[in-house]
Amino acid sequence: MGRIYENKVTDLGNQVEAFMDEGMFILFGENAPDTLKEFCYTMSVNPVNGTLSSGQKLIIDDVSYEITAVGSLAQKNLEALGHLTIVFNEATEAGLPGSICVEAKPVPTLVVGSEIIIEE
């Protein structure tokens, strides 16, 4: 299995749980706009070593989620901004261009140090 992406949460906005009821959360690099920063989990902008696609695995703190859809801007936003919205709805088409959809499992609670990995 090839590792496409890995990162760790470095900070939490004070409103990160705002989208939990909608089954999603937002990751963003250190340069998140002030209007979004309070809703995001902050990470470094790390390289993406491959192309994001459905069928890959998103691993959050050792829990695996199958990726079911990738939005048209997800790859570009992750590479350039460290930005990705993860939606836990098992959709086969991403409703937001900057999102990936994964299995409909409970949304995890991230903490500083939480690890995010994407593998083929």
% of the chain with per-residue pLDDT over 90? 95
Structural domains of the chain in order of their starting residue, each with its CATH number: 3-119 (2.40.33.40)
Asked whether residue 1 carries a pLDDT value surpassing 80, the answer given is: no
Average pLDDT, rounded, for the chain: 96
Q: What's the pTM? A: 0.94
* Nearest CA among 66, 18, 69 for reference residue 41: 18
Any idea what DSSP says for residue 50?
S
Of the pLDDT bands very low, low, confident and very high (cuts 50, 70, 90), residue 91 is very high
Q: What is the pLDDT of residues 21-57, one digit of tens each?
A: 899 999 999 999 988 999 999 999 999 999 999 999 9
* Nearest CA among 107, 101, 10, 95 for reference residue 55: 101
